[in-house]
Structure 1
């Protein structure tokens, strides 16, 4: 067995097809079949269940897939560390929620590239649970998500505490009048968004369980819809004040429980950190224990 065998195995698992895996790996199907057979003989277990229509991982295959991701990550880190020697290089995949992606990533990227120009940063925006899964499954090196976090296998570092506010159109009815309507309208991100969850919890605390959702995928879109009177929403107060101060919006404070959001950075606790990941952590979060160290770059 070699690392290329594992890459072929992963290609079959991802594509669900020996033919497609062969094309992805620039080889022939017979070689893919032979390499998978060799792996199954070596591990003494069937790795794929094969039918005329599809190829799927068996329970043994799923276990090997988990380790494949770790092996691939370790090999990439080893190459990066050996090749860099005296300088930090390699690549990092960082995940974040939409507000961080749109408003903070350019600042993070510029500052990091100034100090470590040989490190390639790749950012991915997703919902919180998807980001956590991607870090656990080695698809991301780290991610910025809302806390608290208590997931086995993950470490976290506090980045910033933010205050959330309810938003309405300043030229429309006040919040009390909007909530009294038969069908309350809300403007939110998709399922799994922390802001949407908080808004729905707030409405529930007001005895409102029926409302009409307008789902958007950008902060700008949410701001535009709220300003036009198409619904209420919830966003970090700092985001609204700093980037949308001139918009016709009214902000309403929330209680501490619903209105406080802690952003944390998560990364695997059992993963050998590459030089690039250590540099990323050290640069942004090296301040004293217990301090709100994220304020330096998230304020």
Structure 2
């Protein structure tokens, strides 16, 4: 057993696949399989539950992941403490909603590159629930998600509060005008989207439980369909004012309980912060 075994172990957990872990570690699958088998024999426990689609951590694997993270973080700290300089190096994986990534992602990447040029960041988008699960299962170091969240294993810091609005075609006179259509037509993201949930809640508050849905998988697609007059949607106001102010659409405020969304940054409490993650958090003064 050596430190590289733990890196391979983390790669399998991160990718949910022995094949993808091998690619990420620039080795062959047989070596990955052998190193995981070696760890399982060393700890006398199955570390992964294998299915036809992916591999996931067992309870024993989750426990070992905590220690693996600690070992790797301590090693990085030792390199910095003993090395010739105090340059922060490493990689972090951060998740966010697509809308958050579009508005704040470039700024974050630029700020990190300016202040910590040797820290690499992998930035990915997903739904709120998937992002939470990715952090809980150690596949993301941190994620920006809509509040509220009450999970004891997760640390959280308030990042920002934003306005959520109804986005409609320019010929729509009011929110009530939308409800005159039978059925009401809306452009939505996939199930699990927080904006779709708010749209559903607003319609239910108006006594509408069924409506015509057109599902899209991109912000651009949603805006295009709204502009074409097919229906309306619910999105952050900042997205519209920043990227789509010249389009044939307009916005209406939603009731306060639906029209305000707070975003928090989450990460796991049970593992020490890596130097790279500390560097990222320092951009927002979260650790003061």
TM-score bracket, normalised by the shorter chain, equals 0.7 to 0.9
SS of corresponding position for 1:284: coil
**Structure 2 Cα separation of the partners of residues 106 and 48 of structure 1:** 36
Alignment of 1:1-80 (within 5 A): 1-5=1-5, 14-15=16-17, 26=27, 29=30, 32=33, 36=37, 39-45=39-45, 62-80=58-76
Flag the structure with larger Rg: 1
Segments of 5+ residues of structure 2 without an aligned counterpart are none
- Residues 48, 61 of structure 2: 8 Å contact kept: no
- Residues 45, 60 of structure 2: 8 Å contact kept: no
- Tell me by how many angstroms 1:147 deviates: 0.4
1:143 — aligned with what? 143
Q: Describe the shift of the 1:181–1:134 C-alpha distance in structure 2 as closer, same or farther (beyond 3 A).
A: same
Q: Describe the shift of the 1:27–1:192 C-alpha distance in structure 2 as closer, same or farther (beyond 3 A).
A: closer
| Matching of residue 175 in structure 1 with residue 196 in structure 2 | no
- Tell me by how many angstroms 1:82 deviates: 2.8
1:116 — aligned with what? 116
- Residues 73, 138 of structure 1: 8 Å contact kept: no
- Tell me by how many angstroms 1:45 deviates: 4.7
- Residues 69, 137 of structure 1: 8 Å contact kept: no
**Structure 1 stretch 22-31 or stretch 178-187: which is displaced more?**
22-31
**Structure 2 Cα separation of the partners of residues 246 and 49 of structure 1:** 51
Q: Describe the shift of the 1:173–1:205 C-alpha distance in structure 2 as closer, same or farther (beyond 3 A).
A: same
- Residues 8, 32 of structure 1: 8 Å contact kept: no
Deviations 1:228-276, CA, capped at 9 Å, x for gaps: 1111101112222232222222211111111110011111122201122
**Structure 2 Cα separation of the partners of residues 232 and 191 of structure 1:** 17
Aligned length: 280
Q: Describe the shift of the 1:275–1:29 C-alpha distance in structure 2 as closer, same or farther (beyond 3 A).
A: closer
- Residues 160, 264 of structure 2: 8 Å contact kept: yes
| Matching of residue 223 in structure 1 with residue 219 in structure 2 | no
**Structure 1 stretch 194-203 or stretch 277-286: which is displaced more?**
277-286
**Structure 1 Cα separation of the partners of residues 256 and 180 of structure 2:** 24
**Structure 2 Cα separation of the partners of residues 198 and 137 of structure 1:** 27
**Structure 1 Cα separation of the partners of residues 32 and 105 of structure 2:** 43
- Tell me by how many angstroms 1:196 deviates: 0.7
**Structure 1 Cα separation of the partners of residues 131 and 53 of structure 2:** 27
TM-score (norm 1): 0.80
**Structure 2 Cα separation of the partners of residues 69 and 206 of structure 1:** 48
2:101 — aligned with what? 101
2:192 — aligned with what? 192
2:80 — aligned with what? 84
- Tell me by how many angstroms 1:142 deviates: 0.9
RMSD between aligned alpha carbons? 3.2
| Matching of residue 253 in structure 1 with residue 263 in structure 2 | no
- Tell me by how many angstroms 1:77 deviates: 2.4
- Tell me by how many angstroms 1:285 deviates: 2.9
Segments of 5+ residues of structure 1 without an aligned counterpart are 289-299
